[in-house]
Every structure is written in C-alpha cells, then in structure tokens.
Chains A and B, each alone.
Chain A
Amino acid sequence: MSAETVEKAIEKKPAEALLSKRRKKLVSDPLVDDNPITIQVLGICSALAVTTQMKPTLVMAISVIFVVVMSNLVISLMRNTIPSRVRIIVQLAVVATLVTLVSEVLRAFAYDMYKELSVFIGLIITNCIVMGRLEAFALGNKPYDSVLDGFGSALGYSWIILTVAFFRELLGSGSVFGLPIYDTISGLFGPDFKLATNGLMVSPVGAFVILGLIIWVQRTKTGYVEH
C-alpha cells in the first residue's frame, strides 16, 4: 500500500484513459483482494450493528459510499494546502461535516431510516475505512483517482454488509427487503407447514457468525494468509 501514497510518474504521459487498467484496479481491488472488511477487517462495528435488515443496510451502504467518495475528493483537492501537522484534524472535520450532512438529509427525507440507523450514521465518522483511505490515498493522489479509490473501498464495504444483511434478514426474520419469503414458501405447503426463523441471526452474534463464514470462504478461495 505504501506505493500508492507516492504520486506516480504516470502523469507525464499524454493523458491516461478515463478508465485505464490502473484505474480499474483502484476500484476492483478493494472488492475482493483487498476488501476493507474481510481482508483489512475495518468497519466491523457498523457491519455488525446495522445488518439485521436489508433496507437500513442499503441506506447505510449508500451513506458510506457518499462519505468516502466525497471526503476523498475534498481532501485530494486540498492535499497541497493542508498543513501536515494538523492534517488528521482537517480530515476529521471534513468527514464529520459530510456525515452530519447525510444525517440531516436522512432526518428530513427518510425519518424512519434516520430513527432506525440513528447513532450508526454518526459513527461513520469513526469508520476506519474513511480515515484509512484519506491517509493512505487521497493525501497523495489526484482527485479523480481518489474518487475511484474511495468508490472501490466503499463498494467493497457495501457488498459485504449487504450480503451479511441478506442472510441475517432471511434466516432471522424470514424475509428479504421486507418481502415475507418464509411465509410465501410455507404457503405452498399448506397451513401446517411453517419455517422457523432463527432468533440468533437478529442479534449481533448472528452477524459475527455470518461475517466469519464469509471471511472463511473468501480466504479459502483467494488463499490469503494474514502475516
């Protein structure tokens, strides 16, 4: 990752394609090979807490994508003016402002979601993925690359929490996006047939189990070993 922090000499070439191979890698790397949750094990707190249902998880994912992309953009634009001694505070101020904006917008336009996610929107500020990308990438790279990098990382985070939420909602509440899957299935087999939901999946413990399984499956496939 240290190679990323140094601005690359590529800029001297005429003009890099809008989606060159290197830029595609910025987005695709964090999806699997360098996933913030399963490989870097960052942002676990919210991954455990908001994933009981798909809908709030989707809102959370969108919020995180917005915050990471925008903060990467802003910090990258300011990277040459930010005094290095106070850079962490500057990053924090920018991130906190963006998160507050998200929370205010949700409160005005999606009050139910605002109530449900409540404190976890605010906690995006402390999500290590956000600050991690700012420190490791946005401070030393051009705006467009930073946006791609942030988008990739946030997307990597999003698909994992959505997968966790899918299994937790299906197994714990018997539904997906609020659609009663279990009831529909049991309806096919007559009134006496009933699929039992698993209460464990509704509690945070369920998220640990699902997340553990995802990490296990992924690491078996990619052969990743922690050093």
Chain B
Amino acid sequence: MQQSNAYIITFSVILTVVLGLLLSGTSQVLGPLQREAEALDKKKQILGAVISGEEISAMTPQEVNEYYTNRISSIVVDINGKEVSEQGGVAVTAETVDIAKNYKKPADQRLYPVFIYHAEGSADQVESYIFPLYGAGLWDAIWGFIALDTDMNTVGGITLAHAGETPGLGARITEPGVQARYVGKTIFDESGDLVAVEMQKGEGKDYSSQPHQIDGMSGATITGKGVNAMLKDYLGHYEAYIESKKSGAVAAL
C-alpha cells in the first residue's frame, strides 16, 4: 500500500504532537517529585561524609530529611572565607549552590558552601565541617564531600561519586573500603602548609604511618590522580575559611 505524501505528513504531525504532549505532561507531573529525589540524594551524599553508608541506606527519606535538618547547618563563603548571603541580588543558600556550575567559573568568583555537622539541637557544638569537592576523573566529572574534624586538619570521612569512571577500576572510588582509607589522615603538614591527602600508585601497601598518603587503586592511577587534584584544589579554595576557623578555635581556648 503506497500512501500519499499528504497522508504521511499528517500522520507524522499527529504522532509528534501526541507523543510530545505525553512526554511534556509526564515531565510536568513528575517534575516536583524528581527535584525532591535529587535534593534527597544530595543530602545523602553530604551525610555520607560523616555517617556510614549502611546507616543512610537504612533510613527512610523522611528520616534522612529530619536527620539533615537536625544535624546540619550550612553557610556559603567566598574564596576569602567571608560569608556570602546573596549574589547578584539573589539570596544564596548552601543547598541550592550548584557545584558543577560554579566549577566552570574562575576560582575567585565561585560560591563555596560549607555544611556544618553539629550535635543535635545545638548549632554551636560543631562536630565536623563538610566541604564539597568537584573535579575531573579519567573520563568524566568526579565529585564528593569531605568532612574535617574541628581541628580543621583531620579527615573525618569522605564520599566520592563519579559520572563515568571505568567500572571495577576508577569507579571503585565509590566503594566504602576505598573511602575509609581517608579517615584519620591529615591535610596540613607540620609547617602548616596544605598538602591534602594523596592517593598513591599501586595497591596493597601499608600507609598507616604516613599522615598524607593512602593506598591507591590498582589499575586506576589516573582516577586516583584526579581525586588527588580535586582534593588539593578544593581544600585550597577553602583554605581561607579553614584558617579562620582554626585561629578562631585557638582564640577560644
């Protein structure tokens, strides 16, 4: 059966309109739910730096939200460690800062959210400071959150995520076993310079006596280097804020 051109065009137009309406309708209906899911996911990632993944996955979404509200307060700072409350006339909150978008700007124009993990009910009893991280892995973006203890030196925990690292190799940065290697390491050397924590080449060596080095991931040296660069980079951007908290802590003593 050979149809006329007019029939084919009419058919295509109707099909396109129907499918288009269907898709945009779905997107409209599901949009709020999707944004909620994304916000929840971000909270889970932030909390992942201070509590274990198993604990988080055992929580219901509601519990996660509650825990987050009770235990996390947040501010936004600039590269000089000064608190920022608005940019271009628009109020900014740490939760709405898009790290990936900010990453494209020059370092001194970016917004830097800080998530403060504190004891339940009292925002003054800080337990750790959580900083976002963002950088490049081997294939695509990598990001995460690192928690520093109140001495602003010891790593309390880290979560790492990636967009497209090699499964089984670079993608292992998401494994709890790999992330646990960071815990207890320090980011400043004796003279007070920022050295961050460096993942080494090769796997299976013992770095427990090295305060700034951790065991690497076999076969994923470049991803490891990306993580190292990201840590050094972002902790460097937060250095002014970190220093201000450090001296503040000393003054309080």
Q: A residues near B, CB below 8 A? A: 52, 81-86, 89-90, 93-94, 97, 100-101, 104-105, 107-109, 111-112, 114-115, 199, 202-204
Contacts and interface: CB of A to CB of B under 8 A. Distances in A.
A191 B148 CA distance: 34
B23 interface: yes
Contact of A86 (B12, B33, B34, B168): B12
B89 interface: no
Interface stretch (B35-43, B105-113, B151-159, B208-216): B35-43
B30 A90 contact: no
A83 B15 contact: no
B16 interface: yes
A173 to B, nearest CB: 10
B19 A81 contact: no
Given A85-B8, A93-B16, A107 B3 contact: no
B37 A84 contact: no
A204 B11 CA distance: 42
Contacts of A97: 19, 22-23
A208 to B, nearest CB: 13
A111 B37 contact: yes
B11 A83 contact: yes
A108 B8 contact: no
A84 B40 contact: no
Contacts of B168: 199, 202-203
Contacts of A84: 1-3
Contacts of A81: 11
Interface of B: 1-3, 7-8, 11-12, 15-16, 19, 22-23, 26-27, 30, 33-34, 37-38, 40-41, 167-169
Nearest to B171: A202
A206 to B, nearest CB: 9
Nearest to A109: B33
A204 B167 contact: yes
A86 B8 contact: yes
Contacts of A82: 11
Nearest to A204: B167
B33 A85 contact: no
Contact of B27 (A52, A104, A114): A104
Nearest to B11: A83
Nearest to B10: A83
B167 A52 contact: yes
Contact of A203 (B7, B15, B34, B167): B167
Question: B3, B41, B168 — which one has the most chain A CB atoms within 10 A of its CB?
Answer: B168
Contacts of B2: 84-85
A128 B38 CA distance: 32
Nearest to A86: B8
B34 A93 contact: no
Contacts of A104: 26-27, 30, 34
Given A90-B12, A107-B34, 4 more contacts: A86-B8, A93-B15, A107-B37, A202-B167
Nearest to A97: B19
Contacts of B23: 97, 100-101
What 8 pairs between A and B have smallest CB-CB spacing?
Answer: A111-B37, A203-B168, A108-B33, A108-B30, A202-B168, A83-B8, A83-B3, A97-B19
A140 B167 CA distance: 42
Contacts of B33: 108-109
A109 B1 CA distance: 44
Contacts of B3: 83-85
Given A94-B19, A202-B167, A203-B167, A108 B11 contact: no
B91 to A, nearest CB: 27
Contacts of B34: 104, 107-108, 111
